């Protein structure tokens, strides 16, 4: 007689959660509890905190122009160590376990070294071990390319390994253990009245992650959203974690009963503003500016075109990430003959502040509240952009804290 299949759980532990022998022993105890609660568990681990940085630094020091395939061969190794150690720690407390490197699973990816995407995961081997009562410990962040080379999934990629594995295993949930106890309405380091959210929708989390909240890798949220993987963020530093749902659950909008207009306030300092002063005001000028930027792989975020006061020329302003700034300037300078700007004016001392919430789809007035709140604080808005569930403004960096705190209060998010 075969036993009924057990529910499956993926538990992911980030770098600070596996940063040494004692921390890994704690991880093993947290896993053991879930095994005792009746789950088949797959554990995904990051490298010890700081380890990947060290490996990347070695690689760059050896040669700035290194082969991307070797970067991956090197950068992926930190996770091999923690996967093995975690399996040993589990065995030591009576929980049978074995470790897998990404290629052994196999976690098949495309060939984009350094930021590969997962294409397919073969879970048969893991499921076979589950049937024998064995916990699977998988090295996060890594996979295997079609050419059979080791790949990595981009910094923070273990989150994506975990969520993709949960999707492939049909797991009940993917629990992401980290050093904070959940997702907050805003950054608790700058707003002491920030509140932990019980639940947040995939879409809101995607905006929060891409707008600067660093708890989850953006791509992992995309994968969770596409495959509807219920993903919980919780702390490995609280050993009572994991009994109920003590963290923040990232889930479908329908699962969230509490209705709110704005769910969170995010900010990103990784912004640079570029203005093309006096470009000809004629059809084709936007294409002349943004096509060469796109061809150079430069991501442009907010865009505004001013009204022309002389009917002949206008100013065009856009933002990009700080890392792309120098290249963007070069592209615009090289293309000046075809664009026709008089000059460029730039500012890297800016921050993008965003309010996010699915409630905006059905309620008006969210943007007004934002503009009014900032006006009352005397903060000048330089650029505005909106989407269905967010409003973002670009302001001077020195007002970051002031703006985020005032908005948090204005939308009723402050903790009591
Ligand atoms: N160890 C990798 C990094 O530091 C992957 C991860 O931790 O998610 O980026
Ligand atoms: Mg991380």
Ion ligand 2: residues, CB within 5 A, are 14, 156
Q: Which two tokens stand for residue 248?
A: 């923040």
Contact, 232 vs 249, CB < 8 A?
yes
pLDDT band at 213 (very low <50, low <70, confident <90, very high): confident
pLDDT digits (tens, 9 = 90+) for 44-67: 999 999 999 999 999 999 998 899
Average pLDDT over residues 3-21: 94
Residue with tokens 């509490």: 258
Distance 156 CA to ligand 1 centre (A): 4
Model pLDDT, residue 278 = 95
Distance between CA atoms of 42 and 315, rounded to whole angstroms? 54
pLDDT above 70: residue 1: no
Model pLDDT, residue 200 = 96
pLDDT above 70: residue 148: yes
Distance 140 CA to ligand 1 centre (A): 8
Contact, 143 vs 162, CB < 8 A?
no
Ligand 1 site: residues with CB under 6 angstroms? 14-15, 46-47, 52, 78, 140-141, 155-159
pLDDT digits (tens, 9 = 90+) for 370-390: 999 999 999 999 999 999 999
pLDDT digits (tens, 9 = 90+) for 234-269: 999 887 755 667 899 999 999 998 778 899 999 999
Model pLDDT, residue 394 = 97
pLDDT band at 214 (very low <50, low <70, confident <90, very high): confident
DSSP per-residue codes, 89-139:
HHHHTT--EEEE-GGGTTEEE-S-TTS--EEEE--HHHHHHHHTT-EEEEE
Model pLDDT, residue 259 = 79
Distance between CA atoms of 355 and 416, rounded to whole angstroms? 20
pLDDT digits (tens, 9 = 90+) for 71-92: 999 999 999 999 999 999 999 9
pTM: 0.90
Half-sphere exposure of 286 (CA within 13 A, CB side): 8
State the ligand closest to the CA atom of 78.
1
State the ligand closest to the CA atom of 217.
2
Which of 107, 157, 216, 219 best tests ligand 1's pocket when mutated (most atoms within 8 Å of CB)?
157
Which of 15, 102, 209 best tests ligand 1's pocket when mutated (most atoms within 8 Å of CB)?
15
Distance 8 CA to ligand 1 centre (A): 24
Model pLDDT, residue 5 = 84
**86-89: Cβ within 8 A, 24+ apart:** 86/13, 86/18, 86/24, 86/27, 86/28, 86/31, 86/43, 86/45, 86/137, 87/135, 87/137, 89/24, 89/25, 89/27, 89/28
């Amino acid at each position: 007689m075969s036993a009924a299949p057990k529910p499956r759980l993926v538990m992911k532990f980030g770098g600070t959660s596996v940063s040494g022998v004692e921390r890994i022993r704690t991880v093993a105890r947290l896993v053991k509890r879930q095994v005792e609660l009746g789950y088949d568990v797959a554990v995904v681990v990051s490298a010890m905190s700081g380890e990947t940085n060290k490996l990347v630094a070695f690689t760059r020091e050896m040669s700035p122009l290194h082969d991307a395939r070797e970067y991956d061969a090197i950068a992926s190794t930190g996770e091999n160590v923690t996967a093995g150690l975690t399996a040993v720690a589990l065995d030591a407390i009576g929980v049978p376990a074995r470790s897998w490197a990404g290629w052994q699973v196999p976690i098949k990816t495309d060939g984009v070294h350094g930021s590969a995407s997962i294409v397919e995961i073969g879970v048969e081997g893991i499921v076979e071990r589950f049937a024998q009562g064995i916990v699977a410990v998988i090295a996060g962040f890594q996979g295997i390319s079609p050419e059979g080379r080791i790949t990595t999934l981009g910094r923070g990629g273990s989150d994506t390994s975990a969520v993709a594995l949960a999707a492939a295993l049909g797991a009940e949930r993917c629990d992401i253990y980290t050093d904070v106890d959940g997702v907050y309405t805003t950054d608790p380091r700058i707003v002491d009245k920030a509140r932990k959210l019980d639940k947040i929708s995939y879409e809101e989390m995607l905006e929060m992650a891409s707008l600067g909240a660093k708890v989850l890798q953006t791509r992992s949220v995309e994968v969770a959203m596409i495959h509807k993987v219920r993903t919980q963020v919780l702390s490995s530093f609280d050993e009572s974690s994991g009994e109920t749902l003590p963290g923040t659950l990232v889930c479908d909008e329908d699962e969230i009963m509490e209705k709110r207009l704005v769910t969170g306030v995010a900010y990103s300092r990784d912004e640079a503003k570029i203005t093309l002063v006096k470009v000809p005001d004629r059809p084709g000028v936007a294409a002349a500016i943004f096509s060469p930027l796109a061809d150079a792989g430069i991501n442009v975020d907010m865009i505004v075109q001013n009204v022309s006061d002389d009917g002949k020329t206008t100013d065009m302003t856009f933002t990009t990430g700080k890392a792309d700034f120098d290249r963007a300037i070069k592209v615009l300078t090289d293309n000046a003959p075809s664009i026709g700007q008089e000059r460029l004016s730039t500012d890297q001392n800016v921050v993008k502040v965003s309010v996010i919430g699915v409630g905006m789809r059905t309620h008006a007035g969210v943007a007004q509240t934002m503009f009014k709140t900032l006006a009352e604080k005397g903060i000048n808005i330089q650029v505005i952009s909106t989407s269905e569930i967010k409003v973002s403004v670009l302001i001077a960096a020195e007002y970051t804290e002031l703006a985020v705190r005032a908005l948090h209060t204005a939308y009723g998010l402050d903790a009591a």
